Amino acid sequence: MARVFKFFAAFFVTALVIFGAILAFNWDAFNTFYDNRDAMVEGSRWVEDTYSLRGLSDYIDKNPEHVSLVSNVINSPDSTIQYMEDVRRPMGTTANFFILLVIADMISSGEVSADSPVSWTRVTDHLLPGVNRSEHEQSYSSAVARDWINNSDELTLNHAMRLLAENNALSLADELWWLIGPERWQTMGETLGLKDTDMPLPYSGLYLTLSPGIRNMPAQEIYDLELVKEKQDFRSSVIERSRRFIDDAEFRENTLTYMEENRLGNTFMQERDALALFPKTTASEMTAILEKLVKDEMISADVSQRVKEWMRWPMDQQSGITRDFADYGAIYDNRMGLLAGIDFGTSKYTNDTTVQAVFFDRIQIAFWFHMSSNHMHQDFQQRLIYDPAMIDQMNKVETNQQEGTSAQNNSLNTTDE
């Protein structure tokens, strides 16, 4: 009996030591999970139902408060699919489209050269610890693999634009945003004749604005305070925080120290909800912009063609895409509770060209992890151009929304199971 007791005691102690070691090595991950335990089950009932794109269309049908989309076949208005198309939603990094557009205009006008050097050291200066690091590293790795980085750790402006469209590194976007300059951004929306679309802001400033830890304020208090600010006042404060992160040594050091230990200091849900402060657009206005782009009418033919060329990265990087598309270009985004994409594509089967804008906004956290893990929204957008079954399914969703059956027959609880 004593031997049995000793055996189980030894087994228990060993198991406890192993478990303790595992927990110690993964303490940050454990704390993150514990702090977000409610978020990790939010929307979980949708996970099981959306392993197919048909299931995703059902989610869209039942959750109009979370989704906006327009899929517009050029020169065929009867084929347009519209769903909550005039609701302003955060663009995420699809706002980088305007960085592409303005830089293309600067190159076309001779203000800068496509071969101008972009310093990766300066790009890295914009990087916030724990925010979008993987995209930053992927961008650099891709540039090195393609022999785009020289011995001075620089790449050309033309290659930087291609990387931005492909990987959406926030650090690279910020370096290019400052190259364009705050003064030009202040008037660009009016110059382009936009009514519902905000111009981009530096991402470092946006994330520092919504960080409870950096601002030493509760997340909800930050959200309430910033939401009621005049648009220009909000933009100015975000720009100033981005500037201070680069130019104010003490502020930069304090920010880096805090974020290396605590990231932003908010929960998944708080970060998701705060993205409502990001620049916004509507699916209808964004597709109108893309239609001009496809027709070579966005600023000029040369500018339009440059932007399209940068957006065509999937034709080189996504396996099998040339099977379904004669031409395809896109910018996608994926961040906490938000999935977005803008694209244009010419189907090999019909030769029709379609422009699209799709925004999944403030979606449930468990469901977001599910969708983002397999790039489901990208597959959804591409099939909505060439797959008749997907197009037919979304036509039905549009009809349901127009008839009001989604709102009448389904619960629209944003924090369901």
Quick one: 137 and 269 in the same domain?
Answer: yes
- Please, are residues 275 and 338 in contact by the beta-carbon 8 Å criterion? yes
Quick one: 275 and 287 in the same domain?
Answer: no
Whole domain around residue 63: which residue ranges? 47-91+281-403
In a domain, 413, yes or no: no
Full-model pTM: 0.89
For residue 222, what is the DSSP state? H
For residue 346, the cross-strand partners are 327, 353
280: three-class secondary structure by DSSP: strand
Look at residue 374 in the predicted model and tell me its pLDDT. 80
- For the CA atoms of the chain, what is the radius of gyration? 23
- Please, are residues 329 and 344 in contact by the beta-carbon 8 Å criterion? yes
Buried b (16+ CB within 10 A) or exposed e, 135-165: bbeebbebbeeeebbeeebbbbbbbbbbbbb
Q: Which amino acid is it at 165?
A: A
68 C-beta neighbours (distance < 10 Å), count? 26
Look at residue 213 in the predicted model and tell me its pLDDT. 96
Of 18-22, 313-317, 372-376, highest mean pLDDT = 313-317
**Phi, psi of 74, deg, nearest 5:** -60, 135
For residue 90, what is the DSSP state? E
Quick one: 209 and 357 in the same domain?
Answer: no
The percentage of residues in the chain with a pLDDT greater than 90, rounded to a whole number, is 79
In a domain, 221, yes or no: yes
How far is CA 165 from each of CA 98, 171, 330, 343, rounded to the nearest angstrom? Answer: 11, 13, 8, 11
In a domain, 339, yes or no: yes
Mark which of 265, 280, 295 sits at the end of a domain.
Answer: 280
pLDDT (tens digit per residue) in 339-370: 999 999 999 999 999 999 999 999 999 999 98
In a domain, 300, yes or no: yes
Name the band, by pLDDT with cuts 50, 70 and 90, for residue 59.
very high
Quick one: 318 and 343 in the same domain?
Answer: yes
Nearest to 131 by CA among 92, 91, 185, 90: 92
Q: Which residue, chain included where needed, has tokens 């228990």?
A: 12
In a domain, 1, yes or no: no
Quick one: 302 and 262 in the same domain?
Answer: no
Of residues 415 and 364, more confidence is placed in 364
Q: How far apart are the first and last CA of the chain?
A: 49
Look at residue 411 in the predicted model and tell me its pLDDT. 41
Nearest to 276 by CA among 336, 324, 215, 317: 336
Quick one: 224 and 356 in the same domain?
Answer: no
Quick one: 250 and 286 in the same domain?
Answer: no
Number of domains in the chain: 2
Quick one: 348 and 222 in the same domain?
Answer: no
Angle value at C-alpha 99, between 97 and 100, nearest 5 degrees: 65
Look at residue 178 in the predicted model and tell me its pLDDT. 98
Mark which of 222, 248, 280 sits at the end of a domain.
Answer: 280
How far is CA 272 from each of CA 119, 247, 268, 332, 400, rounded to the nearest angstrom? Answer: 32, 29, 6, 17, 28
- Count the residues in the chain: 417
Look at residue 416 in the predicted model and tell me its pLDDT. 40
Quick one: 273 and 326 in the same domain?
Answer: no
In a domain, 98, yes or no: no
pLDDT (tens digit per residue) in 94-107: 999 999 999 999 99
For residue 52, what is the DSSP state? S
In a domain, 234, yes or no: yes
Mark which of 280, 302, 322 sits at the end of a domain.
Answer: 280
Over residues 54-79, mean pLDDT: 94
DSSP string computed for 6-37: HHHHHHHHHHHHHHHHHHHHTHHHHHHHHHTT
In a domain, 169, yes or no: yes
Quick one: 156 and 295 in the same domain?
Answer: no
Sign, CA torsion 169/170/174/180: positive
Quick one: 150 and 76 in the same domain?
Answer: no
Quick one: 201 and 285 in the same domain?
Answer: no
